[in-house]
Structure 1
Amino acid sequence: MSSTGTISVRFQSSWSDRNGTHIVDWKKDSLDLVAVYCPETDVCYYFDHTQFGKTITLRVETSKNNQARGINRADDYLRVP
């Protein structure tokens, strides 16, 4: 979890070898479900990555300006879809 109270998940794989660092976006049909465990909250969050672009940011803590529209509240992703 970041200092902003969010968890950001990028839908990509990365590795390094003698040719450098490689980053590949996940294929939308390669996974059925994404599960992310956050040790700070001791909770696992579940979501269908095909419903989002290349990343998702889950808000774990309330924002400082109390913004509620246009955010992905982590509490909304506690159950397997």
Structure 2
Amino acid sequence: MIGLEGKKLKSLNITMDETGIGGWSEDDFVKAVKYGIIPGNKPALRPPMQPYSALTDSEVKAIYAYLKTVPKIKNKVDRNL
């Protein structure tokens, strides 16, 4: 995806590997998805991306539970926010 400045946007590794979201709690994941804030109170999103604030906590927790079943992939992403 290309951002508003014409630069390529990079997404986080969302597997449970330590290079992804493996160190995140379920609450960290809910905060990232619904409010766009990742651990360390850093922004998770850039325009034109929007948080999914309409999802319920239960829906986001179900996504987190599913991601725990996905094989881990070691892939450190430099996001340069």
**What TM-score, normalized to structure 1?**
0.24
Higher helix share: 2
Greater Rg, structure 1 or structure 2?
1
- With normalisation by structure 2, the TM-score equals 0.24
